[in-house]
Amino acid sequence: MPERELDERFHLNLEDIKDFAIFRVDPEGRIASWNTGAERVKGYTAAEAIGQPFAILFTQEDRDAGRPEMEMRVASEKGVYQGEGLRVRKGGSIFAAEVTLRALANKGGVHRGFVKITRDIGERKRVESELKRRAEFEQQLIGIVSHDLRTPLTAISLATSLLLRMPALSAQAVRSLGRILSSAERAHRLIASLLDFTQARIGGGFVLKYAPLDLHEFMGLVVEELRLANQGREILFESAGDCRGEWDPDRFAQLITNLISNALNHGQEDAPVRARLSGEPTSVAIEIHNWGAAIPPGELPHLFEPMRRGGEKARAKNTHSIGLGLYIVQQIVLAHGGTVEATSSAEKGTAFTVHLPRSPPPPKEGV
């Protein structure tokens, strides 16, 4: 087929593509065709563009640096050049672009130039920049607010603890001071959850400090602390098998505390919460079970999303939670290379099951 006829068919096939600038460049770097999308993206008409060096579409800085020639050289050697950069419209306005320059050849392998595809990605870049700016702002805001709140809360907690030690306090005074101390401690926990959320969501996940642990003993201590903090509620603990390995002690304690606290908050108050620990060949399994209203099947896939507090009013008991507990559980489990899942039914109750490998997972590539 004659080259002129090929050019005409090439031009006709591209006329309906309006979101991309698609044009042909001859072997000398001159624009040889120009579609409607090129006119819309670049601003030049076909009459203005055809015959001009395609270097007019680059910034002066890129022309001085030889970028148009570099793109043609790479496309000739490798078959295609792809990248992002700044490009110039008619009138001099600059925009961010995603470009592809592909080498063309006839059936005999003779080089016939290039086809250039340019897409305006200014809006995408703007959205990416806004998302990055917002994430940085959120991280800074949470960090600053958390730090500024911790100082007065610590002072309140210390002062209240000292006042509670004073002799001859009335029963009313003791109750009032107890409520103040409880509120301050709850605020501390909320701040800690916000900081954990920031670390997991924006900071790339938790950094773990592994140490050898025997979870029979360690988990038993965590459960005992929770019993003391929730007197009047029954928390049962069972363990079996070899449960030695390496885990982050603080994060493991947080994992168990969050799961049992969740079970206490949403479970039946006159029924026990049962914690089971068992050793497996290469991992340990942890199950936290409670009786109570079943979680609707539609909610189960979303339980570990941040800011989820449960859709069933019957399950929520004025927990003062901001809905980060299970999200943090999931992030701790993932950081350890484990899995966590939830099941719930009226017949079998609600159970969260965690599997943690005994050894740290291999480091991620590039870390």
In terms of domains, do 111 and 136 share one?
no
Tokens linked to 198: 């920031």
In terms of domains, do 89 and 142 share one?
no
Whether residue 228 is contained in a domain is answered as yes
Give the model's confidence band at 314: pLDDT under 50 very low, under 70 low, under 90 confident, else very high: very low
Question: What per-residue confidence (pLDDT) applies to 26?
Answer: 95
Could you tell me the CATH number of the domain that includes residue 319? 3.30.565.10
Backbone angle region of 266, left / alpha / beta, with phi > 0 → left and psi within -120 to 50 → alpha? alpha
Whether residue 251 is contained in a domain is answered as yes
> Model-level pTM?
0.56
In terms of domains, do 66 and 195 share one?
no
In terms of domains, do 175 and 40 share one?
no
In terms of domains, do 8 and 50 share one?
yes
Question: What per-residue confidence (pLDDT) applies to 46?
Answer: 93
Could you tell me the CATH number of the domain that includes residue 82? 3.30.450.20
Which strands make up the sheet holding 80-88, listed edge to edge? 21-25, 111-120, 94-105, 80-88
pLDDT single digits (tens) 34-58: 998 999 999 999 999 999 999 999 9
pLDDT single digits (tens) 176-233: 888 888 888 777 777 777 777 776 666 667 788 899 999 999 999 999 989 988 889 9
In terms of domains, do 130 and 113 share one?
no
Looking at 120, 147, 179, the residue that finishes a domain is 120
What's the average model confidence in pLDDT over 290-297? Answer: 94
In terms of domains, do 10 and 35 share one?
yes
In terms of domains, do 229 and 350 share one?
yes
Could you tell me the CATH number of the domain that includes residue 167? 1.10.287.130
Residue of 155 and 69 predicted with greater confidence: 69
Residue of 247 and 7 predicted with greater confidence: 247
Question: What per-residue confidence (pLDDT) applies to 65?
Answer: 95
Q: Is the pLDDT of residue 68 over 90?
A: yes
Question: What per-residue confidence (pLDDT) applies to 140?
Answer: 73
In total, how many domains does the chain have?
Answer: 3
Q: What are residue 168's phi and psi, to 5 degrees?
A: 60, 30
In whole angstroms, what is the distance from residue 36 CA to residue 46 CA? Answer: 8
Whether residue 362 is contained in a domain is answered as no
Whether residue 82 is contained in a domain is answered as yes
Looking at 201, 232, 255, the residue that finishes a domain is 201
Give the model's confidence band at 147: pLDDT under 50 very low, under 70 low, under 90 confident, else very high: low
Q: Which amino acid is at 122?
A: G
Whether residue 365 is contained in a domain is answered as no
In whole angstroms, what is the distance from residue 41 CA to residue 23 CA? Answer: 12
In terms of domains, do 176 and 89 share one?
no
Looking at 120, 155, 174, the residue that finishes a domain is 120
Give the model's confidence band at 18: pLDDT under 50 very low, under 70 low, under 90 confident, else very high: low
What average pLDDT does the structure give for the chain? 86
Structural domain that includes position 343: 211-357
CB 47 within 8 A of CB 68: no
